[in-house]
Amino acid sequence: MNIIPPFTGNDDLDSFTAEVVRALNALPIPPLYKKGTGEIVDVETTEVIGYQNRYLHVRFANDRIGTDFSPDYTGTTYYGLRNTTQPTTEEDHTLFSWNGPVDFTGNKLFYKNLGNRAVDFFIGDAAPDFRWTEFIFEDTEVDSTTETTTTVSDMEDTDTGSGTVVTTETTTEDEVGDGYSTEIETVITTTKDYTARTITVVTVATITTIRLYLGYIDLDDLQPLLGVGTDLLKEGSVTTSKLAEGAVTSTKLADRSVTEPKLADLAVSARTIQPGSVGTLKLANQAVSVPKIKATGVPSEDTFLRGDGVWAEVKSAGFSEQTIYDSDYYITEESFGGHMYHDPASTLDRVLSLDEAIEIGTTITVLDFYQETTIRVDVGNLLIVGPGTLSPAVKIGTYGKANLLKVENDLWSIDGYNLTAVTDPGAPYIRIITEDGARLLTELSEEIIEE
């Protein structure tokens, strides 16, 4: 608004009216509701911004007064609008508001409902996007008729008579879709000629197609504004090319709807698999190869995978499973277990010394038949099972037996019979003797002496 306040010469009154006028000028200008036309007009721009009634009728002409008034925009240059409360209107060009000129050559009229009974128009050869609807008018009627005759001969001559009409059947089908109304009428006539021994079937099909004539826009129909509902889509009508990039997200996919044949090669990478989503049941037999196992060390024909995830070499025993000793014996870290036998022909007591580097879990069995053997450790103690005695050395008496198990870095458990805790006799010279007694290695000289 732009109201100019009156001037009276009274300072108080003029000040008051100026404040009132400023407040009025700041108010938004309401739209103009044009009586009789249904139009709602912006006062400042004089543009139609909406309509009061539900139905907007559209007609076409070649000037602003409605010359060549027609429901078809073919060959016209103006379009007229009339807003009413009913889907029908008088075909009177003086009742319409005309807009133009526009070029309908090779083009069509499209409209888009904006809501609140506002509408927008577009003229072109194709709609800008799916929200625009083509304005449909009545087109010329298209008729086509086909006739098919089928004759069956050599029927049985079981009766006499001349050619007669046996049956006549008429069916009619109506279809409405894509802006067209189609009626299919089929007439089937069957005749039988006893003399000629024939049956003749004549099928006449008449197809009539009429383009729908609406002539109005329903301003309360907001379906185009909201999008195309799935109930309006035909099977297979939405092709891949109609989908925008990124339009189909994971939330729009039904569970298990993407099957293996739908996945492109290399489409599923390690980055796209959620942690913990591939369980044991999802793995095929022999699907996890050796390079996929998380472990340290190098896998080879000489190594095995331990429980702690380490590829470890299989250790060779420092003595055979049945080692006969007739001298002091030093069991080193390369040993992993075995049976030790004191030579029956021996006349001397012997000392078996256990290297501190021997791995936890090593087991050794020692049998002594005729003399005594003392077992000692370099570091730690031996725990005699039963009495629970801890000692750095244990003596195996005559006809005694000891089962040893290294349970900690500095502790062995030992059980058996004829076992006595003794004072550590001290480490002997390292002497390793083979079963045949042919070779001897001493710690002092580190030379091999052949007997």
CA distance 135 to 112: 10
Low-confidence ranges of the chain (pLDDT < 50): 158, 317-320, 430-451
Measuring CA to CA, which residue among 355, 320, 339, 349 is closest to residue 402?
339
Model confidence pLDDT, tens digit, residues 368-427: 877 888 999 988 899 888 888 899 999 998 888 999 898 898 899 999 989 999 998 887
Contact 415, 382 (CB under 8 A): no
- Could you tell me which residues are beta bridge partners of residue 402? 366, 416
- Could you tell me which residues are beta bridge partners of residue 403? 365, 415
CA distance 24 to 112: 36
DSSP 15: H
pLDDT of residue 168: 77
pLDDT of residue 231: 54
pTM metric for this prediction: 0.36
Measuring CA to CA, which residue among 166, 206, 157 is closest to residue 182?
206
pLDDT of residue 65: 93
CA distance 212 to 179: 5
In a 13 Å sphere around the CA of 383, the CA atoms on its Cβ side amount to 11
pLDDT of residue 62: 95
| Residue whose entry in the numeric block shows the structure tokens 């099928």 | 203
pLDDT of residue 442: 41
Measuring CA to CA, which residue among 75, 101, 86, 179 is closest to residue 133?
179
- pLDDT > 70 fraction of the chain, expressed in percent and rounded: 80
Domains of the chain, residue spans? 1-28, 32-134, 142-211, 322-450
Measuring CA to CA, which residue among 373, 323, 325, 324 is closest to residue 350?
373
Query: At CA 146, angle to CA 143 and CA 152, rounded to 5?
Result: 165
CA distance 402 to 369: 12
The DSSP string of 198-215 is EEEEEEEEEEEEEE----
The CATH number assigned to the domain with range 142-211 reads 3.10.420.10
pLDDT of residue 395: 92
Q: Please tell me whether residue 140 adopts helix, strand or coil conformation.
A: coil
Number of H helices, E strands in the chain: 2, 29
- Share the mean pLDDT of the chain: 78
- Could you tell me which residues are beta bridge partners of residue 170? 187
